[in-house]
Amino acid sequence: MKVFVNKRIPEIGIHMLEDAGLEVFIPEHENLSHEEWLNYCKSHDAILSVGGGFKFDADFFIECPNIKAIALYSVGFDHVDVHEATQKNVAVGNTPDVLSKATSDVAFLLMQSVARRASYNFEKVKSGNWGDFDPLHALGQELYGKTLGIFGLGRIGFEMAKKSKAAFDMDIIYHNRHQNEEAEKNLNAKYVSFEELISQSDVLSIHANFKPEQNELFNSSVFDKMKKNSIFINTARGGFHNQKDLYDALAEHKIWGAGLDVTNPEPIFKEDPILELSNVCVLPHIGSATEEARNGMAKMAAENIIAASKGEKMPNCVNPEVYTN
């Protein structure tokens, strides 16, 4: 089986593929145009796909009828038309669990950075403006005993809730497709409606898988209902929030602050006015960027490809129906 890997990944994954006797191709330059990417896809049997920039949509499956498997180097699969893949019998794999701790660490980091105004204060220091001790200036807020609202309490949301409970004894409320019994039992998490979630959270953190029907679900009508002291955290997908509405809510102090590891659009334009605000911390989608998580993702993506090359079920498959078609 010929495997196209569009960007270098940790060596462990490549070695696993080669040791399994697979022919691996990684292009020398990594900033492929869509045309170059598509041509490589057409001449391979499987793809280990890094990044969400190239879409596996209905056209892709028409253009690349030889593709048998797609192993994503991500847990998110919003850039794949899974229905179409299933129709064409293409197994799609992802990398859950191995990045849950790292990604929730970033949500936790953003929550604290915003609460204690870390970006604002760092900017002051960098501009030579340390300032005198001032009892009234740049005050943050404490998180102890506050309410953390989780939108999408799956693996990553659970880790975020667990850390926040342990560190700050936060009350956990959540809104999800299904109730999460483990979180209710171990973290005393309470299931609430979407309306209750947005109006009761002191910190609102998004951890759901993104679906097109949720595009810009967090917009002015939501920000208007959030508490004035609330902090909005998005480490999931930028598409969840309307960035202009978020800017307005922050600039007009309708909410207290925001921490973003994902933006809309992504990458963010350097001229985006949200970057000028002092109550915002923005990171460049580094949720899974630890050695441990990235090695785990490489291993898991390789395992998915190797299973597919043997005609076996991928260990982490988002469309297991392909095996019963």
Q: Using CB under 6 A as the criterion, which residues of the chain lie in contact with ligand DGY when the complex forms?
A: 52, 74-76, 99, 287-288
Angstrom distances, CA of residue 37 to CA of 4, 47, 169: 9, 11, 48
Nearest to 37 by CA among 13, 18, 55: 55
**C-beta of residue 322 within 8 angstroms of C-beta of residue 303:** no
DSSP 143-205: -TTPEEEEES-SHHHHHHHHHHHHHH--EEEEE-SS--HHHHHHH--EE--HHHHHHH-SEEE
**C-beta of residue 143 within 8 angstroms of C-beta of residue 164:** yes
φ/ψ bin of 177: left (φ > 0), alpha (ψ from -120 to 50), beta (otherwise): alpha
Q: Quick check: bond before 320 cis, omega within 30? A: no
Q: How far is the CB of 171 from ligand DGY (least distance, A)?
A: 27
Token pair recorded at residue 111: 């929550």
Q: Which is nearer to ligand DGY, 141 or 209 (CB)?
A: 209
Q: Which is nearer to ligand DGY, 44 or 155 (CB)?
A: 155
Q: Which is nearer to ligand DGY, 76 or 296 (CB)?
A: 76
Q: Which is nearer to ligand DGY, 277 or 317 (CB)?
A: 317
Q: How far is the CB of 99 from ligand DGY (least distance, A)?
A: 6
Token pair recorded at residue 112: 């604290």
Which active-site residues does the annotation give? Answer: 237, 266, 285
Q: How far is the CB of 71 from ligand DGY (least distance, A)?
A: 12
Q: How far is the CB of 101 from ligand DGY (least distance, A)?
A: 13
Q: Which is nearer to ligand DGY, 74 or 263 (CB)?
A: 74
Angstrom distances, CA of residue 156 to CA of 14, 45, 72, 174, 175: 27, 32, 18, 13, 14
